Amino acid sequence: MALFDQFQDLIRSHAAVKAVGADPFGIKMERVLSPTEAVIEGRPTILVGTNNYLGLTFEPSCIAAAGEAIETQGTGTTGSRIANGSYGGHNDLEEALARFYGRRSAMVFTTGYQANLGIISTIAGPKDYLIIDADSHASIYDACRMGSATVIRFKHNDAADLDKRLQRLAGTEGNKVIVVEGIYSMLGDQAPLADIVAVKRKHGAYLIVDEAHSMGVLGDKGRGLAEVAGVESEVDFIIGTFSKSLGAIGGYCVSDHPEFDILRIRCRPYMFTASLPPSIIASVTAALKVVENRPELRTRLWANVRTLYDGLKRRGFTLGPQRGPVVAVQLPNPEIAVHAWQQLLGSGVYVNLALPPATPNGTALLRCSVCAAHSRHQLERVIHSLTEVAYRIGVLTVPARAAVG
Ligand SMILES: Cc1ncc(COP(=O)(O)O)c(C=O)c1O
């Protein structure tokens, strides 16, 4: 068998997708005009698939801070912090994150993926157990594979199933570490965190919450689902990313554990990769201040969420179970989803195409993400275009069509 024979099925299915039109996994933004608009295939296109929840990618204070950092500190750190040392900004950002969450310590990673990979794979040792939600992000699954703990999956968002699985481990020696997400990246639903915390307490387990899609989005302070659920003190490790609400790249973990910092010389995805460049550190530090000082962005985001989620629901679309900034339009199968995605792009609307195995329960999704910077007009155009495409390909039924004004 030749080296690439293992990819033949994938090569065939990708070719079939591309044969329909533009390649959903190879889209080129020819020109980015704003957080919500780019030129794609020569056409001005509304971006509804960015995770740029607060629209901070063009925030003037972040751009100015990044520019100044490049001018004064250069373009990159050219190595990891344990080898090349930290720039002052790395430590300042960690202190700012710890303050933001009211925690003792914070640790910054080069991506959110590496934050999950590093913390989850390191924190649970060979005798320990990682008990993860079945719909966990790929970075959580990869972390489990990289680490040495025994991995157990529980049914998505099912605290009773989590309880059952922990019960079966009663009397075993190792630590039990539960891993859940604040807002799930594909369907946009939230973890039942209060119930999960109750189970955690019952079994004396630890809890990691990945707030990648909920930081900046949920809570009066923007600290995420743990803040809304009122259980922050019960979460042992919060993991997050700079690539969504904070509009840049990078990841972090915050904790109150007194020995947390030892991870800096044990956690391989922290130790053996270059640290974030000064420009990113500076822009993220500025973005964190925006999250803290401009709650009106969250208010605007949620008004936009209501416009898009409720508007699509009224048209008859099947959506993810909970209203939130990830609005997942469910389509009957991958072929229909690819067609719909292509036609939407042709009408000047970009969303994410999400297909199995990246989606839960084999669903095919047009995954939209809402931004505080979307105008009402843009969102109405998105609803209109999605509805038109759904008629054309026969996804929406006639009674739903009659409802369209
Ligand atoms: C739940 C979740 N965790 C972690 C990540 C990884 O974050 P990043 O893209 O910043 O590496 C993602 C990315 O989409 C995610 O959805």
Count of domains for the chain:
2
In a domain, 117, yes or no: yes
Residue ranges in the chain modelled with pLDDT below 50:
400-401, 404-405
The pTM assigned to this predicted structure is: 0.96
Host domain of residue 317: 11-47+295-404
Query: Does the beta carbon of 111 sit less than 6 angstroms from any atom of ligand 1?
Result: yes
In a domain, 127, yes or no: yes
Residue 357 has what pLDDT?
A: 87
**One domain for residues 100 and 204:** yes
In a domain, 344, yes or no: yes
Q: Is 100 in a helix, a strand, or coil?
A: helix
Query: What CATH number is attached to the domain comprising 374?
Result: 3.90.1150.10
Query: Does the beta carbon of 367 sit less than 6 angstroms from any atom of ligand 1?
Result: no
Among 336, 339, 338, 335, smallest CA distance to 353 is for: 338
**One domain for residues 124 and 194:** yes
Instruction: Please tell me the chain's helix, strand, coil percentages from 3-state DSSP, rounded to the nearest 5.
Output: 45, 15, 35
Which residues, in sequence order, are bridge partners of residue 47? 350
Query: Does the beta carbon of 135 sit less than 6 angstroms from any atom of ligand 1?
Result: no
Residue 16 has what pLDDT?
A: 87
Are 336 and 366 in contact, with CB atoms under 8 Å apart? Answer: no
**One domain for residues 31 and 166:** no
Residue 35 has what pLDDT?
A: 98
**One domain for residues 25 and 107:** no
Query: What CATH number is attached to the domain comprising 73?
Result: 3.40.640.10
CA of 141 to the centre of ligand 1 (A): 12
Nearest CA to ligand 1 atom 16: 185
In a domain, 172, yes or no: yes
**Among 249, 274, 293, which residue terminates a domain?**
293
Residue 399 has what pLDDT?
A: 55
- 83: tokens are 């080898």
Nearest CA to ligand 1 atom 9: 112
Q: How far apart are CA 126 and CA 177, in angstroms?
A: 12
In a domain, 78, yes or no: yes
**One domain for residues 243 and 225:** yes
| Tokens 């990618």 found at | 57
**Among 293, 314, 339, which residue terminates a domain?**
293
CB atoms within 10 A of CB 127: 12
**One domain for residues 391 and 284:** no
Q: How far apart are CA 140 and CA 241, in angstroms?
A: 13
CA of 137 to the centre of ligand 1 (A): 7
DSSP-H helix ranges across 148-295: 159-168, 193-203, 225-229, 268-271, 278-293
Q: Give the distance from CA 39 to its chain's centroid.
A: 24
**One domain for residues 140 and 223:** yes
| Tokens 């959506």 found at | 319
**One domain for residues 269 and 345:** no
- 97: tokens are 């994150």
Among 110, 121, 62, smallest CA distance to 84 is for: 110
In a domain, 52, yes or no: no
Q: How far apart are CA 128 and CA 174, in angstroms?
A: 4
**Among 246, 261, 293, which residue terminates a domain?**
293
Residue 18 has what pLDDT?
A: 86
Query: Does the beta carbon of 37 sit less than 6 angstroms from any atom of ligand 1?
Result: no
- 182: tokens are 């604040």
**One domain for residues 232 and 101:** yes
Residue 343 has what pLDDT?
A: 95
Are 137 and 186 in contact, with CB atoms under 8 Å apart? Answer: no
Which residues have a Cβ under 8 Å from the Cβ of 43 and sit 6 or more positions away? 348
Phi, psi of 114, deg, nearest 5: -70, -30
Residue 405 has what pLDDT?
A: 42
**One domain for residues 106 and 178:** yes
In a domain, 5, yes or no: no
**One domain for residues 282 and 399:** no
**One domain for residues 280 and 303:** no
